[in-house]
Structure formats: structure tokens, C-alpha cells
Amino acid sequence: MTFSGGTAVVLGPGGLVGTAWLLGLAAGLRRNGVDLADADLIVGTSAGAIAGAILATGGDPHRLATPFGPSGLPGSQPRPDPRLIAEVFTTLGDRGLDPAEARSRVGRIALTAPTVPENVHVASMRSLIGPVDWPQRRLLITAVDLETGQPVVWDHTSGVPLPVAVAASCATPAAYPPVTIGGRRYIDGALGGGSHVHLAADADTIVIIEPLAHWFGSSAVPDGAALAARVVPDEAAQNAFGPDLGDRTRWQPAYQAGMNQAPDAVTRIRLTV
């Protein structure tokens, strides 16, 4: 999948609170005259897959200022086992393992972790982004093949329903179930390359928005890529996130923090999107 020219927006991973911040930021930018949906290419990974799908299909991010309840995400689900989460990060950080093998091992952890059923996870993503199909504009969604540990990228030509692709991209091991597509299982796209900035490397201008840069560092930009702006959570947003990326009680504070940060971010983005 190649893309060249135009403006690209790269939306990175972030858990539930990072998703809320991304959506609040997008809504705030739109209110201030910058619409990320106008980009020629949107690359979405995990939380960024949710926000990217909403924007690329013409959705209103402000609709999700309060997403929980009968028409939003389920009100309760098993909390991830901290021991399994620790095992996931230990495995990913093992420098003695080939990265693909580490991701595959993490996938095997995901297969046995107690989470909501796969169909419930997919239904949650469908509720978040709406019952929509792929847009004609360029939208790339990333995931990782559980068995091989290799990254995959889907677009409107891939034959994968958009809500299912988003669910796979958001399938954080030990927190959400792997997603089945064409007889294979897929997990969180963030494991295969962070925000996947390389997919936008040939754009004329690139805007990167990364909810977890303060935790995991910013994604590297390929040599020669035209980075125009990078937006990460400010101190107020980081405080709003709290220590648990899956804390549903932090959704509204994180969303509002994104809204609050938009006026500052718009001055850096206005001339590129």
C-alpha cells in the first residue's frame, strides 16, 4: 500500500483514555477551524484506529464526549489481570527474542486471558465508530497477526469490515480478545510499530498525534519524511489520563483535556491540513 503527496495524519495508540483525548482534540481542532478529516491520508493504530475511522467516515468526534451506556461501550468488563499485563510487557521487552516471536508469544497470552467475548469487543467498536463502511478517502488501519507476529495493514480494498479491522487494531493483549478475520487472529497494531509513521513517509506533509508519547516516547520519523507537526498530551492531559489507560472514569476528563489543548495545537497544524 503506497501513498505519495498530499497531507497525512498519523493517529497513534492510547488505550481508553488516549482515545478520549484524541477525540476531544479532534473535536476541538474542528471547532477552531482545522478538520483532521480533510487530510488526504489517515493512518490509525489502536486508539488512533477508532479516531481515524470516525473522522474518515464523516463522523462527529464530539458524539463520544460521553460514550458509555446503552448506545456506547459496555458499562462493565473484566479488568485485565495485572500479572498478565506485566508478562506482556516483559515479553515485548525481552531483547533476546526476535520482535516477531515476542509478538507471537504475547498473542498466545492474549488467547487465554479473561476478557469480554470477541463479538462483544467488535460490537463495542461498531458502536463507537458507527455502522459504517470504509470511506473512499485513504484510511489505513494496522494490526498484528497473532501467529506470525507480523504487522498487517488494511484499507478499503482488503475485504475486512471496518469495525472488525478497528477492533483488531485495538485488541490489546490481556485486555481485549484477539479478533478473527479470515480464519486468522489479530492483536493490537501498536505492537507492530507504534504509530506506523512509515506508512505516511511519502506524504508532502505529516501531522503526528500520539496520546502515549509521554509514556513510550515519540515514534521515529523516517529520513526525508516531511514532518509538519507533532501533537502529544500536555501536562494537564497527562494528569487527566491517570495511571490506568483503561480507566473508564477518566474518559470525560481526558476528552476535555484534548478539547482544551486544541487551541494551542491548531496554530501548528492550521497550515498543513
Give one DSSP letter per residue of the chain, joined into a string.
Answer: ----SSEEEEE---HHHHHHHHHHHHHHHHHTT--GGGSSEEEE-THHHHHHHHHHTT--GGGGSS-BSTTSB-S--PPPPHHHHHHHHHHHT-TTS-HHHHHHHHHHHHHHS--S-HHHHHHHHHHHH-S----SSEEEEEEEETTT--EEEE-TTS---HHHHHHHHT--TTTS--EEETTEEEEEGGGGTTT-GGGGTTSSEEEEE-TTHHHH-PPPPPTT--EEEEE---HHHHHHH-S-TT-GGGHHHHHHHHHHHHHHHHHHHTTT-
89 with 126, same domain? no
pLDDT of residue 70: 44
Lowest average pLDDT, out of 154-158, 221-225, 228-232, goes to 221-225
Q: Give the whole-number percent of the chain exceeding pLDDT 90.
A: 70
Q: What is the mean pLDDT of residues 59-78?
A: 70
Residues in the chain: 273
| Cβ pair 193, 46 in contact under 8 A | no
User: CA 175 to CA 13: how far, in whole Å?
Assistant: 14
204 with 262, same domain? yes
User: CA 163 to CA 21: how far, in whole Å?
Assistant: 20
Give 157-164 contacts, CB < 8 A, sequence gap 24+.
161/133, 162/53, 162/57, 162/129, 162/132, 162/133, 162/134, 163/53, 163/122, 163/125, 163/126, 163/129, 163/131, 163/132, 164/122, 164/125
105 with 228, same domain? no
> Per residue in 20-54, pLDDT tens?
999 999 999 999 999 999 999 999 999 999 999 99
Within a domain: 183? no
- Tell me: pLDDT of 139 over 90: yes
Q: Return left, alpha or beta for 149; rule: phi > 0 is left, psi -120 to 50 is alpha, else beta.
A: left
Strand partners, 190: none
Within a domain: 35? yes
Domain interval for residue 63: 7-69+118-168+199-213+223-238+249-271
User: CA 231 to CA 75: how far, in whole Å?
Assistant: 30
Contacts of 89 (CB under 8 A, 6+ apart): none
100 with 130, same domain? no
Residue 192 cell numbers, joined: 507492530
89 with 137, same domain? no
106 with 122, same domain? no
> Per residue in 72-118, pLDDT tens?
555 556 677 788 888 888 998 889 999 999 999 999 999 998 888 99
Residue 28 cell numbers, joined: 476541538
| Reported pTM | 0.93
- Tell me: pLDDT of 165 over 80: yes
What CA dihedral angle connects 224, 229, 232 and 237, to 10 degrees? 180
91 with 16, same domain? no
Within a domain: 178? no
Within a domain: 31? yes
100 with 124, same domain? no
57 with 149, same domain? yes
Closest CA to 184 of 165, 156, 163: 165
Within a domain: 243? no
108 with 231, same domain? no
163 with 86, same domain? no
Within a domain: 192? no
CATH code where residue 47 lies: 3.40.1090.10
91 with 142, same domain? no
Within a domain: 159? yes
pLDDT of residue 233: 97
**Catalytic site positions:** 46, 188
Domain count across the chain: 2
- Tell me: pLDDT of 69 over 60: no
Averaged pLDDT score across all residues of the chain: 90
Residue 170 cell numbers, joined: 485495538
Instruction: State the Cα angle at 211 between 267 and 177, rounded to 5°.
Output: 150
